[in-house]
Amino acid sequence: MTSPASRRPQPSDDSRTPARKWMFRLITVALVLTPLLILEIGLRVAGYPPRDQLAVDPIFDPLDPKPLFESRDSGQTWSIPESRHNFFAPASFSNQSDRPIRRIFVLGGSTVQGRPWHPPTAFPAWTQLFLQACDPAHDYQVINCGGVSYASYRVAKLLDEVLQHQPAAIVIYTGHNEFLEQRSYPATDSIANQATRLAQSSHLVRAIQHLQHTPTRDPSAELQTDAPVTRLDLMDGMDLYQRDDAWRQAVVAHFQRTLDQMAKRCRQADVPLILCQPASDRVDTAPFKIMPAVLTASQTTHFDTFWEQARNGQLNTDHRIESCQQVLGMDPQHAGANFVLGKLLIDQGQFEIAKPHLLAARDHDVCPLRATSAIEMATKQVASLHQLELVRCDELLDARDLQGQPRPDGIPDTNRFVDHIHPSIAGHQLIGQAIAKRLAEQWRLACSNDVQAQYESLVQAQLSSLEEAYFTRGKQRLQGLRRWASGRSGKLHLPANQSFQRQTPSSPQ
């Protein structure tokens, strides 16, 4: 007779096979991942690679990075080769001197280079002359590394290089060129972006990137080279600029991340860093591109009527102001209406009311060729976080009256600029002196009372050494820049009889 236990169904080999297969797979996966996990933990403990590594950028990475400076005499003299002169002005420095050397590299875009002129009248040159007047015991070498159209992510690559040349300090003036190049940013809510951020949090992934120098980026990212190719260099490049708040926010985030890494890199190298908050003209520079918001058909009819009245110089000022306000009621981010309203208010002497509208006109320019308020805020935040010296160029270029007090508008003066972003030679001198004085304070230089007189003598000698053709060529380049800008002014079509002169007290020349 069969017992109850013997009559129970026994599991067959076939029913146990799936469980065994899954167990085998889990063990296999664990054996594969364990070495990677151990390596990840080891890299984290070792702190490799450092998170502020400038060689790796998830958005920008030149395919064929070349050094900016080359030496042909065993490292005694370094210079920018002719092959880079399309974007950089000639510059060189020597390791040989009869005095102790204090070498300062100034990095940034065309403002650093001194456009529309050249480095002899750019602010790095005036910084060097002031330091020489203040401290003749040292050989001050202020090296101009301003690259035309160079944005912060390109400047970061140069920083890694120049830190190898024993700088006494680094000066960075950047922010105007952040929106020039076509770059892809993953959507903030996309699965691909989540995976990218997860990968970037892994020390193992970043170590592989560092060794191979091939950052993980969006597959649709554009070809990156040493030579900037701006959107406006492309056929119908202006059409590439559209209202895109998400893209602009991503650009600002990339800028702040890059600036933060540069600050950390200088701190690691124990090299003082001075940041310059970029300044731009707001009063005489109309938005480069204007796009209205998407409105209903009836709203569009009213909008067009008010916008036409706002631009009509034959109407009285109050009528035009009311029309601007109607436009902004339907589209607060309309750069053109903000600009016209700001200009009309300045003509009436209402500077405080005009200021936010002129800022909005710049910040909502669909083709932002000037650093926006978000870029300025990011610069301030990085300077505050790392306790850096911050030179407020916007305040330096705010003209003062005969008593030396800032004019009542709190806006950089148009007379201190030659176009939308480039300061006049006098403006460069103000920036150069401010930087030199910050460095003198850091190095505790005992500048004598007659330093200013010595500096002014050096300035006159510098200017006298330049031929008339130097200034003539600068004026020609300026005319070209203005024609270029007017061709991209967003079809604002302000009437020729419109008076946009600032009604403010005149300042001494």
Mean pLDDT value across residues 430-440: 97
Question: How are beta strands 92-94 and 77-79 bridged, if at all?
Answer: antiparallel
Indicate the pLDDT class of residue 218, thresholds 50, 70 and 90. very low
Q: What is the pLDDT of residues 219-261, one digit of tens each?
A: 334 444 567 877 777 777 888 899 999 999 999 999 999 999 9
> Between these two residues, 457 and 209, which has the higher pLDDT value?
457
pTM over 0.85: no
CB atoms within 10 A of CB 492: 15
Distance CA 184, CA 244 (A): 12
Cα–Cα distance measured from residue 218 to residue 359, given in angstroms and rounded to the nearest whole number: 33
Say whether pLDDT at 211 is over 70.
no
What pLDDT, on the 0 to 100 scale, is given for residue 183?
72
**What six digits make up the tokens of 463?**
């200017």
Contact 436, 134 (CB under 8 A): yes
| Distances in whole angstroms, Cα of residue 321 to Cα of each of 295, 315, 337, 389, 486 | 21, 10, 9, 41, 25
pLDDT (tens digit per residue) in 52-90: 454 555 555 555 568 999 998 888 999 999 999 999 999
Lowest mean pLDDT among 96-110, 185-199, 340-354, 371-385: 185-199
Measured on CA atoms in the order 291, 293, 295, 299, is the torsion positive or negative?
Answer: negative
**Is pLDDT above 80 for 100?**
yes
Mean pLDDT of the region 383-399: 94
Instruction: Give the pLDDT confidence of 323-363 residue by residue, as tens digits.
Output: 999 999 999 999 999 999 999 999 998 989 999 999 999 99
The tens digit of pLDDT for each residue in 107-165 reads 999 999 999 999 999 999 999 999 999 999 999 999 999 999 999 999 999 999 999 99
Residue 6 Cα to chain centre, angstroms: 82
* Residue-level pLDDT at 19: 74
Higher confidence at residue 139 or residue 504?
A: 139
- Mean of all residue pLDDT scores within the chain: 82
Neighbours of 339 (CB within 10 A): 28
Domains of the chain plus CATH, in order, are: 52-69+97-183+222-286+371-503 (3.40.50.1110), 297-363 (1.25.40)
